[in-house]
Amino acid sequence: MTTINEYLSLEQFKTVVFDNSSVKISDEVLERVAQSFDFLKEFSANKIIYGVNTGFGPMAQYRIKDEDRIQLQYNLIRSHASGTGKPLAPQMVKAAILARLNTLSLGNSGVHPSVINLMQELINRDIYPLIFEHGGVGASGDLVQLAHLALVLIGEGEVFYKGERKATQEVFAAEGLTAISVEIREGLALMNGTSVMTGIGIVNAVNAKKLLDISLRFSSALNEIVKAYDDSFSPELNNTKLHKGQQEVAARMREHLADSKLVRKREDHLYTGDNTETVFKEKVQEYYSLRCVPQILGPVLDTINSAALVLENEINSANDNPIVDVKNQHVYHGGNFHGDYISLEMDKLKLGVTKLSMLAERQLNYLMNAKINEILPPFTNLGTLGFNFGLQGVQFTAVSTTAENQMLSNSMYVHSIPNNNDNQDIVSMGTNAAVITAKVIENAFEVLAIQAMAIVQAIDALSYKNEVSSGTRKIYDDIRAILPVFEKDQAMYPYVQAIKEYLMK
């Protein structure tokens, strides 16, 4: 059980979205939200408050008649429920609901407590509003996507329930749920914020961390397979560079390889003997994709950690407009809905993940190319060379997928297009940035799945199964449980998919 109270940590957020912990709203939150609602209702009686008694966006210059104020909110929700494209995955929708629930719980939005109570029920009963990928420009927040959430909360639209897409009314009837009734500004308060991009962003950050962990272990295994020297990940070398990510990656590589029988020490080979050769039989140092793992994955790790901090700050921030301040008895107008913080972090995150997938593809190529590694058959082929193909086919897929990641890594943060009659003259495109980053992350899992296949084939080709470290042996055993040793050619796509699903768990 995760209680919504003063502050929601990223770890608590993850237990709800990834581990299906239920949500409970504290009495303090309910009291805070009720006070905000009551204050706004009284304060707005004889004042001009955006979105309460005015139109929206460039229509804010038009006063709304008192008798039309409630209908205005319904009009806003229905008119903006206009998304297109693929529906967001249920996990991302759940994250978006939780992010919106938490920000509304801060008491800066003037919503009725029934709003957060119903959102709590959607999370706990696994009811996921139909929200589409396309539609948000990231300011005023996720207007279009959050309109689809608001549409469900007023009892309209569609949801995913028990694996099926159904009418909201039907599901509410089955679950005994009652739609909210708009009281003051529930439409605008629900829609005007960054919760969809933030929810997707948190899912992205968690999955990117998984990718980093996998890539680090696979990179360690590759250094082991080729009997690389250990000084490239030594503390003496890496601590001369003052980046926390690099130092941590190197330390984790040392931990992974601590009991390896294969990695070598330079002093036992190239620093001993007469060393009179003019052409050295042994490699003096490895290719960059093996030797520079701490320097490549270190910045990725730091980027993931930076994104996580920004995302945690955002879910605990009031990000709609205007801001209701009960303490100072005032309502402030501004732009907290602007998604630039999230947009920039998502662009940085997808750059890091793309670089990670590029590293995996180059490491895969090292294993595939016998002329480079000089120890393995081409394409880690355990069959008859020329007659069988090994992993030649899946290498094409890894290269293709990596190339798509490179293309998708163009920035959304700087792709602002003015809209809304130029009221929104500079926007964040944060939702697009988050959605595209999710695609880049999924692609990276596919590349790593293919890399895993090559690593275990290489271990068998060299008969190293009993010499690798315990960490690499676990990789071997887990992947071999999905992909048996093979010599004869067979369709590989089911194995790629199965290994991808295993890595994403």
Inter-CA distances, 467 with 179, 221, 367, 461, Å: 62, 11, 18, 13
How far is it, in rounded angstroms, from Cα 69 to Cα 55? 9
Residue 343 CB-density burial (10 A; 0-12 exposed, 13-18 middle, 19+ buried): buried
Contact call for residues 103 and 319 (beta carbons, < 8 A): yes
Structure-block tokens of residue 261: 């029988």
Q: Is 421 helix (H, G, I), strand (E, B) or coil?
A: coil
Measured between alpha carbons, how far is 240 from 243 in angstroms, rounded to an integer? Answer: 9
Start-to-end CA distance of the chain, whole Å, equals 22
Q: Which residues, including other chains, have CB under 8 Å from residue 430's CB and lie 6 or more apart?
A: 136, 138, 139, 142, 194, 197, 339, 340, 342, 343, 346, 412, 413
Dihedrals phi, psi of 331, to nearest 5 degrees: -125, 125
The residues that are catalytic are 50
204: buried, middle or exposed (CB in 10 Å: 19+, 13-18, 0-12)? buried
In contact, 92 and 203? CB cutoff 8 Å: yes
